[in-house]
Amino acid sequence: MSSTSRHRSQSNGQNPILLFTPPPQKSLSLNSQSSISLFMEQRTRILLLLSFFIGFVIAVPDSASAAESRVDDRIGELPGQPLNVGFSQYSGYVTVNRGAGRALFYWLVESTVGGKPLLLWLNGGPGCSSVAYGAAEEVGPFRVGADGKSLMMNPYSWNKLANILFLESPAGVGFSYSNTSSDLYTAGDQRTAEDAYTFLVNWFERFPEYKHRDFYIAGESYAGHYVPQLSQIIFQKNQGVQNPAINFKGFMVGNAVTDDYHDYVGTFEYWWTHGLISDATYHNLRLACNYQSSEHPSDECQKALDVADAEQGNIDPYSIFTRPCNSTASLRRNLRGHYPWMSRAYDPCTERHSKVYFNRPEVQKALHANVTGIPYPWETCSDIVGNYWADSPRSMLPIYQELIAAGIRIWVFSGDTDAVVPVTATRYSIDALKLPTVINWYPWYDSGKVGGWSQVYKGLTFVTVTGAGHEVPLHRPRQAFILFRSFLENKPMPR
């Protein structure tokens, strides 16, 4: 499979450039007492606007105070939402670069219990939406119905344990936008991390009650880069600061892109040991892709990956024992009963439901998204952002070493039926850290049944979730809930 499809859900076709504009600002009156200053402000805006080439639009500065923005961001009720959900929701835009006109879209789902910590959830890709995946089919409070109109409650929503903040990042992903078109073609790890940090600083001003509260970051797939990189920035910014506003405590990542060398070795081994590729292809992959970049592989490595993709056939690599999403007719035939290895029936077309729902105008209005009605479709993943991804360091292990030494809580988990970033890849990366073992490998249990396995190292806890694919909370929602609870409590998985 291609280097980009390793970390992204199956999205076909090129996206149009998504240039979502900020919410309309209050009109300015020259009859007010401050008419001269307002006139000069308008004149400055016009001059700035004219300084850009045709096709580029300068972002309109926010005029509302943080308090006013918070009120405007409150979600009354989402279309199709069940009655009396028992928690508050907010969504909207936070500007991260006024000069370029970059603003990131967020969705906050507050906890059903007061005083809980705050968790930032990030999806990877690069170029995939945390609204589409994290919120709509993994850890959020709702699931989108097959009709693309109704919402159902998720009994294992993580907002029962924490306040969950979903962020669509970087600009160009989901509803997040940039008024500088070139930003979509130059996104990379460094700017994504810097913009995410700027987002948090500004977001905490809008929601000051979350300042100083315990704060965690979680994500999956290519967020295996986003999460530790953002964590490092926060940690370094907090050095020497007493009682920092962003009270960062730790992070957790699932089926995470971590180290290109070990990811490749472990992934090829998984494909081979699970009978997905031939002996010859396995050896070719080991030779052609040795020490290659996963985001920017050589032509020889890419050819070997393409052969492996053809040999694997029409499977869902994100969950190798479940059927892929084909036609609606085949879906109806294939979902007659529960799969024996699943806790409940798995809908492989769940991503399609989200695309229908979040493209509905009334849904976008309720979310305060795409407020000017630009007729570009919302996509689960941006092909432009993903295909033109710039900087991508080959290893996150140096960041792990820095944060482990600082005592930051780190948990890593893997669904063991994922062939995209498989459990073997993660185990090779963890082994490379050479951490002392605190608790040896052991099975953990859920209601008397093995839910997976775990090993506790000095500074890091590793957990597997049996039967789960790339999106662990989608395939094993109850077990993922137990995992998150153990992470927050900083206790080993139940035995």
Residues with a known catalytic role: 221, 418, 470
Cα 399 to Cα 429: distance, rounded to the nearest angstrom: 13
* Cβ pair 111, 163 in contact under 8 A: yes
Contacts 24+ apart (CB under 8 A), 25-28: 25/60, 25/62, 25/63, 25/64, 26/63, 26/64
**Three-state DSSP class for 279?**
helix
Cα 76 to Cα 378: distance, rounded to the nearest angstrom: 21
Single-letter residue type at 273: T
Cis peptide before 24 (omega within 30 of 0): no
* Cβ pair 178, 171 in contact under 8 A: yes
The tokens for 418 are 């994922």
**Three-state DSSP class for 489?**
helix
Neighbours of 150 (CB within 10 A): 16
The tokens for 477 are 């929602």
Single-letter residue type at 166: F
Cα 163 to Cα 13: distance, rounded to the nearest angstrom: 35
